[in-house]
Structure formats: C-alpha cells, structure tokens
Chain A
Amino acid sequence: MTAVPARRPAPATRWVRGPGVPWRRTVDGCVLARPADGEPLALSAAAAEIWAALAEPATVDEVACRLAASCGLAAADVRGDVARAVADLHAHGLVEPR
C-alpha cells in the first residue's frame, strides 16, 4: 500500500486509534498491523507513547503535554514531533479524527 502523504493535523482535531488495529508492545516500542493490508509497522518507544495516549481521543497538544511530562521537557519542544507522528499514523490509517 502507498500511504497518503502526511499532512500536519489541525490543532483542534481530536485523534483516536482506528477501531480494531491489532497491536503488541515490544521491547522498545510497539508493532501494529496496517488496516489496509495487515502490513506490520514498528513504532519507536516515543511513537508508542503517542499510540498509547491515543487510546482515548486527544489533540496533538494534549498528547504533546503528556509526552513532555513523561520525559521532563516543555510541550513546545515535542509538539512538532508529535504532530508529524500523528500525521504519519493517520496516513497509514492507524488513527482517525474523532
């Protein structure tokens, strides 16, 4: 499958995991099956934290705050990375706007 090019999500959009995406924790992150074709995708530890945060609907800012708090950084420092990761997850059909 060719993923749709990732676009930055709108700030107010709330995101949540796509329904029924099979996934597993791994030693250093997690692995998920892409809904379109079942192709496995490995996430790093930080991206896995974003995945964990999106078990419930959340904006990019909310996820950034949570991630920043867990590693002792300012939310502004991680917001861009979170936005890119959410956009990538969306492009693969793994998260959706709520």
Chain B
Amino acid sequence: MTAPTAPSAPTAPVGPGARDAGGGPPACGPADGEVLDAVAAHGLPGSTRALPARPLPDDRWRPVLRRARATRLVGLLAAAAVDGALPVTDAQLDQLAATHTDAMALAVRLEHELGVVLDALAAAGVEVRLLKGSAVARTAYPDPSQRPFSDLDLLVRGEQLPAAVACLGELGFRREQPELRPGFDRRFGKSVTLTHDARGTAVDLHRTFVMGPLGLTIDTEALFAHPDRLEIAGREVAALSPTDRLVHACYNAAVGEVPARALALRDVAQLALADDGADRDAVVDRVAPWQGQAVVARAVTLAWQRFALADRTPLSQWAARYEPGRVEQRRLTASLAGRRYAAKALASLPVIPGVRGKAAFAAAVGLPQRAARNRSALAWWARGLRGARATVARAGEARG
C-alpha cells in the first residue's frame, strides 16, 4: 500500500497562464482533432464517436494533451483514461494526471474566490446569478472534475453593473477594457471582464449572453426569476434555472466562437440530455420572444453532428427541422463571433428602442471616449475603416 500522504503543495502554480492563451488553442492535426472530438463525446449516451483502441504514439499524444488543456477538455480526457475507454501508457497517464490536477486546482481556487466575490457583491446589494463553469460542472456532469473552467461568470442586472464593477475593484480586480462611453455597459454591453493580477483569477460580469442584436433582445430580467439554488464553498449560490442554463449554453456554443468549441457543444449536449432541463417546449417557449430559436437550433444541431449522437430527442428533432425567418437568420449571422464589429453594431441598431437609444449606441461605438480610444487607438480606427469599407462595398453590390 502506498502510505497516506499528507496534503502537499500543488504540482504547478495556478495563475493567469492557466487561462486560454490568446490566439486560440494550439493546433493539432485532423486525426488528432477526431480524437479530441471523441474525447469531448466521452460518456454521452448515444454517441458513435470512437476513441483509439491503443495508446497514441507520444508524438501524437503530446499535441492532443496540449490542446485538451487549452480547450478545457482535459477533464473528459482524464475520465476517458481512468474509465479505460482511452488506453494510455504509464508515462502518458502521469502527464495527464499533472495536467488535470492543475486544471482542478484552478477550479477549486475559483470556487473559493467565488465565495469572496459573492459576499462582497451581496454586501453591496448586487444580486447575481452564477453562469457557465462551476454551475454547469456541478449540475450537469456526472462528476464536476470532468468540466474545468478558467474564470467566474456572473449575470448582473444592467443597472447594477457599475456597482458590481466598483465592488470588485475594491477587492483588487481591475477591468481589462475601459467602458466605451459612460453608461454603455449597463445599457448595451455584453459583459465586463475583471482580473486580479495577484491572485491570477478573472471574473466576467455579464449583462446578457452575447454581443450584438441577439444579446440585446434577451429579456435579462426574466433570467433572475426561478433561480436554481446550489451549494458551493459552503454557501447557497443562485444559478440560472435548468432551462435557462441550457439556453445560455446554446447561445455560448452557437454564437460565442466560430467554429464552436467542443466543450461548449458538450455543455449543450450534456444539458439537453439531462432530465431536468431539456423539455423542448420550455426551451423553445423561453427563447421565442427573443427570436432565439435559430440560436438553439444551431447549437443543438452542431452538438448532435459533432458528437455523432444517434439518439434523437424531441429537442434535437425540432432543431434539425427548424427553419429561421430572414430577420432571425440575419441577426444570427451578424452575431456570430468573428463577424466584423461594424456588422454587429449595424445589426444591433434596429433592436435598440428609441431614437435616443440608437444615437447613444452609435455614438459610443463610433466615437468611444478617450480612455477606450487610447487603449487601442489603431484598432479602433482600423475597425472603423473596415466597417466603412464593408458598408461601401455592400452599397456598391446593391447598386450593381
């Protein structure tokens, strides 16, 4: 027997480096992409994705492990190895164990931090709902160790966003990007990211789910009704209802990144196949007033395709048949990650109520305050130039 060992320090430091590096996850070959898709599907009932029957050679294993870490699939990779579904060598298991421990060290550190943040926000009178990482890991997955996360995501009412930002500032967090113009965040923004340099943690304060017109049409106040109460770090934490958790996962997967991240799609499949959140009518009824059916249909369809899910559910059947209207399709297309900022801004204008609201939005996007301009003046002007060129080009096409 191995003697019980007293607690020891983590094998690697936990810090900002644990967050995904900019520029996207490290690349790996198409065959390794297939392996990672099978890893991402591990444990999903009805998936026909197959894991390799023998350990990968080390020159393939290393990029797979690196990419699994960067895309937060390391929890599912560990589960596949421990379950015996993915054969690995002893050396590979050691590397995987160290990588997975690092990811879990960050998760528990963030959950500790969550308690500190929630106490401070509650004292400031800010009501929040926990989103994504910890909430999904604890409610949807058979073991939360399968679902790493790299920051804390909290939904805040728009009118309370400035107070929440100020409150986290007092805890030592600082915002990554200045506000475009005073009042922009609480009226039109998607989220504010704050980081704590000393602790290496980050908090995303969300006003809505996504940027662009799709985010602006969501009734965010409705998301505060019927919270799910979770216990995390010794305290009760209010999270979205199971239905809203699935809806949010769909927005995140369908619009958040193109192509959609495997883990985001796994969240969709995991929640859609759960007993408590996948009622088709509840999901469709929820998003219909926001014209979000195309979002849900896209996310569910992508998840079913990516993981080769053989089982059909009422929701997946509805998603496969759903045909969005022209306006809905246009809003979805404009909201996709990677679309030009100008395109998102233009598509947002029609859904912003009132002439004054539209003017305030246009002024903030077109003429941000000095702090935001100075932050990345070249990027702003380049963005404006690209937007102007695109507009001119479209006008030319229309005339032609």
A16: chain B residues within 8 A (beta carbon) = none
- Interface size class, chain A: 35 or more
Nearest CB of A to B6, in Å:
4
Interface string of B158-190 (1 = CB under 8 A from A): 000000000000000000000000000000000
Q: In chain B, what residue has the closest Cβ to A51?
A: B7
Shortest B163–chain A CB gap in Å is 24
Contacts of A30 in B (CB 8 A): 104
Please report the C-alpha to C-alpha distance between residue A46 and residue B232 in the assembled complex, in whole angstroms.
25
Q: How far is the CA of A46 from the CA of B235 in the complex (A)?
A: 28
Chain A residues within 8 Å of B109, by CB:
33, 38-40
Contact indicator B97/A27 (Cβ below 8 Å): yes
> Which 3 pairs of residues, A with B, have the shortest CB-CB distance?
A20-B234, A38-B112, A40-B105
Q: Are B9 and A24 within 8 A (Cβ)? A: no
Chain A neighbourhood of B3, CB < 8 A: 46, 78, 81
The reply to whether A78 and B111 contact each other, CB–CB distance below 8 Å, is no
B78 CB to nearest chain A CB (Å)? 5
Q: Decide yes or no: A22 and B10 within 8 Å by CB, A27-B96, A38-B112, A44-B4 being known contacts.
A: no
A interface residues with partner B (beta carbon < 8 Å): 6, 19-35, 37-47, 49-50, 67, 71, 73, 78, 81-82, 84-85, 88-89, 92, 94
Contact B8 A41 (CB under 8 A): yes
Question: Could you say which residues of chain A place their CB within 8 Å of the CB of B133?
Answer: none
Write the nearest CB–CB distance from A8 to chain B, whole angstroms.
13
Show 13 residue pairs from A and B whose CB-CB distance is below 8 angstroms, ordered by the A residue. Answer: A20-B231, A21-B233, A24-B145, A26-B145, A28-B97, A30-B104, A35-B112, A38-B109, A44-B2, A44-B5, A46-B3, A78-B3, A94-B7
Chain B: interface size category = 35 or more
Q: Which residue of B lies closest to A38 (CB)?
A: B112
Query: Which B residues between 104 and 160 are near A, CB-CB below 8 angstroms?
Result: 104-109, 111-113, 115-116, 143-145
Verify B108–A46 contact, CB threshold 8 A.
no
The chain B residue sitting closest to A26, CB to CB, is: B101
Neighbouring B residues of A6 by C-beta, 8 Å: 6
Q: How far is the CA of A69 from the CA of B81 in the complex (A)?
A: 26
Closest A residue to B144 using CB positions = A24
Q: How far is the CA of A36 from the CA of B232 in the complex (A)?
A: 16
* B143 and chain A: residue at smallest CB distance: A25
Which of B9, B14, B97 is the one whose CB lies under 8 Å from A26? B97
- List residues of chain B with CB within 8 A of the CB of A78: 1, 3-4
Shortest C-beta distance, A39 to chain B (Å), equals 8
Output the least CB separation between B255 and chain A (Å). Answer: 29
Q: Judging by beta carbons under 8 Å apart, are A22 and B5 in contact?
A: no
Q: Provide the bound-state CA to CA distance between A92 and B232, in Å.
A: 19
**Cβ 8 A contact of B100, one of A27, A35, A39, A92:** A27
Which B residues touch A29, using CB under 8 A? Answer: 101
Closest to A19 in B: B234
- Residue from B5, B106, B113, B234 in contact with A47 in the complex, judged by beta carbons closer than 8 Å: B5
CB atoms of A50 and B145 under 8 A apart = no
Q: Tell me the bound Cα distance from A73 to B116 in angstroms.
A: 43
Q: How far is the CA of A41 from the CA of B104 in the complex (A)?
A: 10
Is B5 a contact partner of A23 (Cβ separation < 8 A)? no
Also in contact, A32 and B7, with CB within 8 A (given A25-B143, A40-B105): yes
Q: Report whether A41 and B233 are in contact in the complex, using a CB–CB cutoff of 8 Å.
A: no
In the complex, what residue of chain A is closest to B7 when comparing beta carbons?
Answer: A41
A24 vs B113: C-alpha distance when bound (angstroms): 15
| B27 on the A face (CB < 8 A) | no
A32-B7, A88-B7 in contact; A22/B105 too (CB < 8 A)?
no
